[in-house]
A and B are shown apart, each in its own frame.
Chain A
């Protein structure tokens, strides 16, 4: 039998199954917390930091990622305060400046309210969200992908850079990769990157009801927890 605890997100008391994460519960209840590295059914590592919320205890608010925070009786969280919005916007700006050539990242930038990018674009083809790595090792136990290197050098690679035979050819890494769908106007050439922002009409809907999921199309591109349908796989 499932045990339930009561948590509070943005003022609403919610019954949440014990052992689940705050982000899972929020998505279940239609509270839109932007996220990228979280995939239902996979472990959470808190890498993208987009799903940050304020965890309010004794009047003090600590910023933490909701995907790694397990529900506990009585915890109170704020997912959409000015502070969180600003931080989230800055993180999304870093991401879109790094990898503008992805519809998922562009969508996230719009969703998080990025209006301009103040850094030079880089056109990298990986944001190290680690979805592929975790799917490969946790869902299929293939371990054909992993992280190599530290800091700026960190990248996704096959074991020892060469062991291709580990791959079972499931294609899951490609399906989950946020970089595989190009922006609506097609790929951007190096030096010609820009902040797309065409989906802002979608944002209008989310802004009217910021705390609830309106099944906006922004989430489609990167397999938002709502769209993923991955639970069937699990």
Chain B
């Protein structure tokens, strides 16, 4: 393709590419995101390619390997257009059928369709699947339209037209005003008003300014940023370019963790392709705006997601935070004004410029506008990435999109916002996903992690898990975070192991408060949230551990005892064979017994038993 030297070039090329693509009427969209890759989608892609060649269909069918569609649990997934046919759990053996039946003759293969776990019926169309139907997919939807390795795909669906509009007809101040009015807030966790950040950075006097895309996503169970950067790196790039134009930056960095190899690869490829086309570089699209982006890899330290630590890491120093008495918009990377935004925040920018402020502001609540991508995981039927308008209730997300609890257990709580967030009980499920409301409730939207827990989860154990994570990931520089999380973990370990006292709960609360108020960076300031929120809503569980020395959910090993229910045990012997510690004995067809001395409380027998004969008390 030729270099694009004006914005008219971009329009012409875009139209041409779209026409080219419309010539092929059958499209096979396969997810090649990390989630589906893990379910061996690469084998499926290879098999389908081979099959298309063998059947000589490769000219009629356009196969598009895309980024994540969000419904990772059902992977590998494919969508066939026209018809919007949705196939899930595809294996390489299905390739022949898909090509001969569906692509050639338009037949639908029943066996590959999605089964709705609620009604039990088959759903042929992607748009009719409840998981997708209940969402508002503004950003994620684009993933299926674009091959992340092809900038042409992105241009064909109108990509970079927001950039052309911005640098062609809008003044930087107008863009900042638009972003301010749209009400866009940072999607990485802090929820800071993006427009205000940009304005402050623009006003800061300096000859050089930087923009940074923070893709150092490290919350356990969360992968929104990975999905966006893997699936549509051009969108993020376009957002960064508009931001850079608005604040007056000439250089940008995408800081992505090295544990996301596909995201690194796709981001690098996107930058290379954009440079080749002249979208990145000097005098972009005939304007006087020049900008270039570099992709930097992070070593995987959680604390490097904190803005100042990230900048230190980019500068080649140890990834440690520094005090933010002077904000990074004034004194950031290499002491120059720097605007750092999360991947999802950047990805929201092009559509605001293109569709207008009112379009964006029409979604969401008073204080939180637009849509938010959430990583829905835990004890629910449908897990994956979901995108909803801000203000959607947690109940809608957990029950309508997530499909409710697995195994018919009662859902007890949801943990939002990753390790820095908090746990909300079921009676708070009518709260909307809103920065301010969730903060008031002791949790936060955060980066968008959402872990659903049922009655088999012990909330003290959950707090312990997150504390272990944070204590391990703390950089160790300041006292409250290093020693505070360590002591909190020590106290919680005491509680889960039956040594806790009531005074320790008070100490825990006091310490949590000190850590929150005095820590140096955001990691420490929010490190106590899992403890504080579980203490606030599940204090009875803490008290049960301390006063009655029991774990109501049957999780904390020291406090529980495994035993056999003689009424239910059929003597099948499965548990006996499964027990790796040799703690179960019994003759065939007779009630088995668990030797509590040998039992290590691993729970294998309990998960193997088909008759629910193994009790925990």
Contacts and interface: CB of A to CB of B under 8 A. Distances in A.
B401 to A, nearest CB: 36
Interface magnitude class on chain B = 20 to 34
Interface stretch (B12-20, B23-31, B105-113, B474-482): B474-482
Interface in B305-339: 318, 322-323, 325-326
Interface in B399-415: none
B249 interface: no
B596 interface: no
A213 interface: no
A65 B325 CA distance: 9
B514 interface: yes
Interface in B467-515: 471-480, 482-484, 486-487, 490, 503, 507, 510-511, 514
Q: Which of B301, B322, B507, B518 has the most CB of A within 10 A?
A: B518
B548 to A, nearest CB: 23
Interface string A137-170: 0000000000101111110000000000000000
A173 interface: no
A199 interface: no
Contact of B518 (A63, A70, A127, A128): A63
A47 B475 contact: no
B477 A91 contact: no
A52 interface: yes
B318 A94 contact: no
Contacts of B519: 49
Given A94-B479, A152-B476, A52 B518 contact: yes
A119 B493 CA distance: 13
Contact of A46 (B326, B486, B520): B520
A167 B490 CA distance: 37
Contacts of B478: 46-49
Chain B interface secondary structure, helix, strand, loop or mixed? helix
Nearest to B484: A94
B280 to A, nearest CB: 35
A150 B325 contact: no
B517 interface: yes
Given A46-B478, A65-B323, A153-B476, A94 B518 contact: no
Interface residues of A, number: 33
Contacts of A48: 478-479
A94 B487 CA distance: 8
A54 to B, nearest CB: 10
A128 B476 contact: yes
Interface in A52-77: 52, 63-65, 68-70
A91 B476 contact: no
A34 to B, nearest CB: 13
A50 B476 CA distance: 16
A99 to B, nearest CB: 10
21 contacts: A46-B520, A47-B477, A47-B479, A49-B480, A50-B479, A65-B323, A65-B520, A68-B323, A87-B517, A90-B514, A91-B480, A94-B480, A94-B484, A98-B483, A128-B477, A150-B474, A150-B476, A151-B472, A151-B473, A151-B482, A152-B482
Interface of A: 45-50, 52, 63-65, 68-70, 86-87, 90-91, 94-95, 97-98, 118-120, 127-128, 147, 149-154
Q: Which 4 A-B pairs rank lowest in CB-CB distance, beginning with the nearest?
A: A154-B476, A68-B323, A90-B514, A94-B483
